[in-house]
Structure 1
Amino acid sequence: MRKIAVTVAAVLLVSGCTGERVGTSTAPAPSGPAATAAGGSPEAVGTGAPAPAWRLATLPELARPTSVLWDVVTVDATHAWAVGSEAYSPDQPNDSGTPLILQWDGTRWARGALPATTWHGRFDLVAADSPSNVWAVGSTAAAGPEDQETHVLHYDGTAWREVPLPRRNSRGYALITGLTVADGHAWLVGNQLSDVIIEEWDGRSWRSHRSPAECRAGGTSFGGMPNFCTFTAIRAFRSDDVWAAGNGAWQGFKGPLLFHWNGSGWRTVPVGINDQESSFTALAGRSSGELWAVGNGGLAVRGGGGSFEILRDAPAGALPDVATDLAGVPWLIDNSPAPSAALATFSTGGWVGTPAPQPAGAVGMSLHGITGTPGSPLMFAVGAVDLPTNPRYLRAVVLEYVPAPSTEPGA
């Protein structure tokens, strides 16, 4: 759950996202104890040694009543960033909420020092390709989505500063849904009504891209709707090798799509699914040859180039994000087993779910972002837990994946 979707293309977006700021939850109380105690590390059966496990990380004190983390990125084992908001009050939805950035130094999470801001709202997205090239995207709190303003910030290893996006026309508000960084270039994707937004920061300025021809062609798709595409996620490997995910519809086609940039133009890449009202919500991979894309309702594919395999046994609930670990194995967030989130990984036998640990006293959890770490087995997932309050407030959480210790001689 990254962003809202109220464009004409939204009829195909089944991501479950809403434009309301998350401050309370209607999740029911759990019927049993959390699957893993807060901070607990289960032991491998019969060995007495710690097994690989997700556990709760310790965070700095966050402003109340509600805090949420929406996205996370790592560049190595000692540099990671998580973004979201704190001090949001559902009683003041239009003028509360303070943008929040947390930074990992290899040992602990601490607040990132943001420039003085005069806007209330949150950060939704974060991406980086080095400790001195980190980008974050967020939006202001507002009475309606048409009144929201997008904010883009860049961190150069020393300080954060705002990098304004080019002004767009006022036909509809801009919905930024994806962010990626590679080779010093930052990419933003999203939608504005039926138009696709693709912006590239080339190191000096923003450069607008045209969407694939099918997305711009005149005519109507199903139900008399105009032809369209939506971009919901993006992953760059080089400045001339960028993949995006979403969906599209035109005469003869309706369904989830991937999109590829080769340095000169964007093209649509079908994955073998047609005549379905579905969309990819997240995209991950270590290269163009090993991509993973997922969407709500059990939508999942893997492959690369022009060849993709449809994986039909993925969790059937809300799948807001996916990431790959050190070995290239995917981990996805599954928010369907309410009131507790789960994390699922893929093996030869299919998808294997692991309940996410909850703090003592929490009555629910939703996760929103997950990331692997280049060169390390370390992984993080972020979101928020539901507190036993009335109204139901939220508290931000970070989960960290602790790999099993090596048993090799000399380790």
Structure 2
Amino acid sequence: MRAGRWLTAVAAVAVVISGSASQSSAESGPSPAWRLATLPDNKPTSNLWDVAAADATHAWAVGFDGYHPSDQYNTGVPMILRWNGAEWSRAEVPPVPWKGSWRHVAAGSATDVWVLGGPMSHGIDDSVTVVLHHDGNTWSEVPFPAGSTPSALSITDMSVVDGHVWLVGRRGSTPVTIEWTGAAWVEHQPPADCVRGSWPRFCTMAGIKAFAADDVWAVGNGFWTGFQGPLLYHWNGSAWRTVDIGLNGKMLTLQAIDGSSSKNVWAVGDTLNQGGGTLAVHGDGTTWQVVSGIPRKATPGVAVGAAGAPWVIGNNTTGRTTLITHTSGAWTETPAPTPAVPVGPAFNAITAVPGTDRFIAVGSADLPGTSPLRVQAVVIEYAPA
């Protein structure tokens, strides 16, 4: 997937959860509700890592184009695409003096959009993080002291609410959470379960969703004496705590989280590259349950629409990517539309468009006959009739 260190998906150790309480079905062909979007010209290799929508006429997708594996540190132009509700175009952003990619985007509103990325890393301890903010008119860089010099800091996800920006990631093997308070960046202490005691403890934070400044949820997994399994984390305005969802003793992980509100939250994960399966969890902020039967696909993203139902990315190593939704107590798969020339599309992120029943997913598709393999950015949109 990702070129160099930051182009490699971070996998957590897990095994399969299975069950038969929910049924799964696959459509015979792509649903007309999902369609390929037309994008402005971009150069192979190009990819889109993340997408965020503020309302029915404002969305952004971020990634890079013009990357070449044989010249990895000197190629790759950071790319931001803007959607106006009808078409995609290149966003006008300040040029950057480095080669690399924008990796994350989040929007609290059309006038509060945040993008994060940086240059290609040469090793595990030379990441540099660059942050941009869009106020509805112009883009400007927001100094980010925690990532302004090369370090082992790596950000895995971002969420924005009420002017507060939340970042999760890691510094080496330590989970990291950083908040933009509206005036400054503040790094918070990890959950006590992830740091206390004389025995080594391991925690990951892979995804985050903020509903309010004092109601933030993150997902990942943990391993320490007496516990091993997937974790939810909750921020109450003053501290993080771990939330045990009843899967202690299982080598499972959660990778993405979203919700229509803190009373309707979905989290998903997978470990197919390590022989495991797929996990989906649903909760109301207090109680949580595993929703069994989700197809065995790589699930890097989930989005929850206004109606409350999730759409989950279902990537497959055979190239048969699907979008998976859960309604009426059952999981249903819909094959993703495929570009005419590229093959094997895989999607990295999905978002719901607030105030509508629309969704947007972004990723890339292989360009056949290229060596080394090169890919082309892809966007698909869900807009039911």
Q: Same fold (TM over 0.5)?
A: yes
User: In 1, are the aligned partners of 2:319 and 2:343 still within 8 Å (CA)?
Assistant: yes
Paired AA for residue 378 in structure 2: V
Q: Match of 2:290?
A: 310
Opposite residue 356 of structure 2, the aligned amino acid is S
Q: Which amino acid aligns with 1:219?
A: S
Quote the residue 1:409 is aligned against: none
Mapped contact 2:227–2:248 kept (Cα < 8 A) = yes
Q: Distance in 2 between matches of 1:14 and 1:204?
A: 39
CA distance in 1, matches of 2:315, 2:332: 14
Deviation at 1:141, TM superposition (A): 1.3
Task: State whether structure 2 residue 79 is matched by structure 1 residue 100.
Answer: yes
Which residue pairs with 1:329 in the alignment? 309
Rate the CA distance shift 1:2–1:270 in 2: closer, same or farther, 3 A: farther
CA distance in 2, matches of 1:3, 1:61: 21
Using a 3 Å threshold, how does the CA distance of structure 1 residues 380 and 170 change in structure 2: closer, same or farther?
Answer: closer
Q: Structure 1 194/333 Cα, relative in aligned 2: closer, same or farther at 3 Å?
A: same
Compute the displacement of 1:157 (Å). Answer: 0.9
Task: Return closer, same or farther for 1:2/1:352 CA change in 2, 3 Å cut-off.
Answer: farther
* Structure 2 CA distance for partners of 1:276 and 1:169, relative to 1, 3 Å: farther
User: When the two structures are aligned, how many residues end up with a matched partner?
Assistant: 363
Query: Counterpart of 2:171?
Result: 192
- Asked if residue 81 in structure 1 is aligned to residue 60 in structure 2, the reply is yes
Scaled by the length of structure 1, the TM-score of the pair is 0.84
Q: What CA distance in whole angstroms lies between the structure 2 residues aligned with 1:73 and 1:2?
A: 20
- What residue number does 1:31 align with? none
Match of 1:382 in 2: 362
Asked if structure 1 preserves the Cα contact closer than 8 Å seen for 2:114 and 2:131, the reply is: yes
C-alpha separation in 2, matches of 1:384 and 1:202: 34
Structure 2 counterparts to residues 47-86 of structure 1, below 5 A: 53-62=33-42, 64-86=43-65
RMSD: 2.3
Instruction: Determine the C-alpha separation between the residues in 1 that align with 2:304 and 2:317.
Output: 22
1:364 aligns with 2:344: yes
> Partner residue of 2:332?
352
Aligned to 1:48: none
Task: Output aligned runs, 1:164-313, within 5 Å.
Answer: 164-167=143-146, 173-220=152-199, 226-296=200-270, 297-313=277-293
Kindly report structure 1 stretches of 4+ aligned residues shifted beyond 6 Å: 1-6, 168-171
Instruction: State the secondary structure of the residue aligned to 1:66.
Output: coil
C-alpha displacement of 1:13: 4.5
Judge conservation of contact 2:153–2:169 (CA < 8 Å) in 1. yes
> Which protein is bigger by CA-based radius of gyration?
1
Residue 357 of structure 2: SS of its match in structure 1?
Answer: strand
Q: CA deviation at 1:114?
A: 1.4
CA contact (8 A) 1:298 1:312 kept: no
Question: Which of 342, 348, 356 lines up with 2:322 in the alignment?
Answer: 342
Q: Where do 5+ consecutive residues of structure 1 fail to align?
A: 16-33, 43-52, 221-225, 405-411
- State the 1:168 CA deviation: 6.6
The one-letter code sitting in structure 2 at the alignment partner of 1:253 is F
Alpha-carbon distance between aligned partners in 2 of 1:313 and 1:184, rounded to the nearest angstrom: 38
Structure 1 115/11 Cα, relative in aligned 2: closer, same or farther at 3 Å? closer
* Paired position in structure 2 for 1:23: none
Change (3 A) 1:173 1:92: same
Cα distance, 1:172 vs structure 2: 5.5
Distance 1:333 1:342 in 2: 7
User: Which residue of structure 2 aligns with residue 45 of structure 1?
Assistant: none
Pairwise CA distance, 1:5: 8.4
1:109 to 83, 88, 106: 88
Question: Residues 319 and 4 of structure 1: is their aligned pair in 2 closer, same or farther, counting only changes over 3 Å?
Answer: farther
